[in-house]
Chain A
């Protein structure tokens, strides 16, 4: 099982000091967190992609390429890559290039983005969000698997005799997770291709996460990729830890109360009880995270959000030390002990090179 962190890359004022980091500081902090992830024994670092303030990560492969050069074994990923407003041809090129530079330590998570104006800024229409995600990914999937592509769709200019370069490293396309909070079409898409499905598991109650994952698993089996229990599931999670839960609650409360997503809304206690947010001791984080398995079944990737809402870098690094020393080693052991026989690990470049996926999607009528 893989463990890691995912970051939104928000520039947010620390509500306890009224200090706002510069973009330069925030970008460097994200890189520092990625290097720290490898140092403390985590497996994955994933960055968001945004094209509007207060977020800095508009150019994920630039950042991930830099991190690739400074790390040895960390898997570099995204949370998410905008499959709607990016040209799928450019995604194919950028992530194949990153894959070569990182020696295959690359996967990505596609998503649709969540802010209306980003679509028209990139010449698209948010009402076409799902069709864009479906069509753009269908093209991306082919560009990585067919050397020469003739293609015509509804959203970008047609291609005749196009070869996306560089070709994927060793002929193995990066593994793709499809991220969605509530769109059944995206769970269906992930299932159709036999790709991974990721739920951010942060903002909504677990029963909703369960419904999305259950749909993905059922349809994964329907499309012939293997039993539902062997589908590739990733979850997010949001934690803040101190040695004692009282200290954790006291320290995190001002960040929660002023956070862009839920500030001014429910109490911290209500939010903890109604969503997967965990604020407490490392043991509480362990217990809650193990509980995710009860909700979605055996899963392959757990990413934690630790660096948002204006938390200072020093605090976030302390969180990562606790993850690396106290939480993840226990989770690895306990998840291993609980996992049903035959459940696969998350695909990596090495595993895909050794054993290409058996169930390629059923061939559709040529369009």
Chain B
């Protein structure tokens, strides 16, 4: 039992398209750093990585039909059950990619409320770095997620230099996420099928 309490679920969502992709590379670095810091703090880590490319067809189907395929449903449930989320997208046309947004769109309303989230992005040039602040951060703020202060951007040139501080940013952001995840777990959302609002309250409009 004590082992269960000290275990933390970390889910990584990568919207990279290439194989291999720099987005996945960044995601893995962030996951490793976060896991290391959680472990150092005495927490066991259960890490799951979701490649959205593998779900592209299922995501489109869900958008059109309104329900997820069994495979996508299992992945969404992994995210909802996580104690922390690392969300990494390539920057396309000044924002997160469409594939990334598709995944966000099929997660139920309030599903990420209170979830510690580390946002990160990749692009060809550093000129896109503020897309994290004007696109990803407001998106997760809207969803009620607890986004850690440091967002991590990696341009192509960052991978060829130790001078630009990418490694330091990764460590700083991972530390923030690990500390957020070490807190008390999120309260499980109410299940309206198990605990319906009694009719008397519906009639009196007291939801």
Interface size class of A (residues with CB under 8 A): 35 or more
Partner of A188, one of B66, B199, B204: B199
Closest-CB distance, B68 to chain A (whole angstroms): 9
Interface centre among B199, B200, B203, by most chain A C-beta atoms within 10 angstroms, is B199
Known A-B contacts A203-B67, A274-B70; the reply to A364 vs B192 at CB < 8 A is no
For B70, give the chain A residue with the smallest CB separation: A274
Q: How far is the CB of A354 from chain B (nearest CB, A)?
A: 28
The A interface, classified by DSSP as helix, strand, loop or mixed, is helix
> Contacts A134-B203, A270-B61 hold; do A185 and B66 have CB atoms under 8 A apart?
no
Q: In the assembled complex, which residues on chain A have CB atoms less than 8 Å from the CB atom of B197?
A: 184-185, 188
A212 to B61, CA, bound (A): 23
- Are B66 and A203 interface neighbours, CB within 8 A? yes
In the complex, whether B60 has a CB less than 8 A from a CB of chain A is yes
Contacts A184-B192, A185-B196, A215-B193: A266 and B203 contacting too (C-beta < 8 A)? Answer: no
Q: Are B193 and A212 within 8 A (Cβ)?
A: yes
Closest to B60 in A: A265
- CB closest residue in chain B, given A215: B193
Contact assessment for A274 and B193 in the assembled complex, using a CB-CB cutoff below 8 Å: no
In contact, B69 and A266 (Cβ under 8 angstroms): yes
Q: Which residue of B lies closest to A138 (CB)?
A: B203
B64 at the interface (CB under 8 A from A): yes
**A184 B61 Cβ-Cβ under 8 A:** no
Q: How many Cβ-Cβ contacts under 8 Å join chain A to chain B?
A: 66
For A215, the chain B residues whose CB sits under 8 A away are 193, 196
Q: For the complex, what is the distance from the CA of A223 to the CA of B198, rounded to whole Å?
A: 10
A175 at the interface (CB under 8 A from B): no
Contact A189 B202, CB 8 Å, known A184-B193, A212-B193: yes
With A184-B196, A188-B197, A192-B199 already in contact, the answer to whether A204 and B66 are too (CB < 8 A) is: yes
**Bound Cα distance from A23 to B190, whole angstroms:** 46
A residues 183-234 touching B (CB-CB < 8 Å): 184-185, 187-189, 191-192, 203-205, 208, 211-212, 214-215, 219, 223
Scoring A204, A261, A265 by chain B CB atoms within 10 A of each residue's CB, the highest score goes to A265
For this complex, into which size category does the number of interface residues on chain B fall? 20 to 34
Residue of B nearest to A191 (CB): B199
Question: With an 8 A cutoff between CB atoms, is B205 at the interface?
Answer: yes
What B residues does A265 contact at CB under 8 A? 60-61, 63-65
A211 and B191 CA atoms in complex are apart in Å by: 11
- Shortest C-beta distance, B200 to chain A (Å), equals 6
Residues of A within 8 A of B64 (CB): 262-266
Contact with A along B182-194 (1 / 0, CB 8 A): 0000000000110
Q: How far is the CA of A262 from the CA of B198 in the complex (A)?
A: 34
Which residues from B are CB-within-8-Å of A134?
202-203, 205
CB distance from B191 to the nearest CB of A (A): 9
In the assembled complex, how far is the CB of residue B114 from the closest CB belonging to chain A, in whole angstroms?
22
Chain A residues positioned under 8 Å from B205 (CB to CB)? 131, 134, 154
Binary B-proximity of A254-271 (CB < 8 A = 1, otherwise 0): 000000011111100011
Q: Measured between C-beta atoms, what is the minimum distance from A350 to chain B in Å?
A: 29
In the complex, which of the residues A135, A208, A263, A367 contacts B67, with contact meaning CB atoms closer than 8 Å?
A208
* Residues in B neighbouring A263, C-beta threshold 8 A: 64
Residues of A near B192 (CB, < 8 A) are 184-185
Query: Does chain B have a CB within 8 A of A101?
Result: no
Per the bound structure, the CA–CA distance linking A85 and B69 in Å amounts to: 33
Contact between B193 and A262, CB atoms less than 8 A apart: no
Residue in A closest to B57 when the chains form the complex, CB atoms: A266
Residue A290 is within 8 A (CB to CB) of chain B in the complex: no
Q: Is the CB of A367 within 8 A of B193?
A: no
Binding site for B on A (CB under 8 A): 130-131, 134-135, 138, 154, 184-185, 187-189, 191-192, 203-205, 208, 211-212, 214-215, 219, 223, 261-266, 270-271, 274-275, 364, 367
Tell me the B residues contacting A by CB distance below 8 Å. 60-61, 63-67, 69-70, 192-193, 196-200, 202-205
6 further interface pairs, Cβ-Cβ under 8 Å (given A265-B65, A266-B64): A131-B202, A189-B199, A215-B193, A265-B61, A270-B69, A271-B65
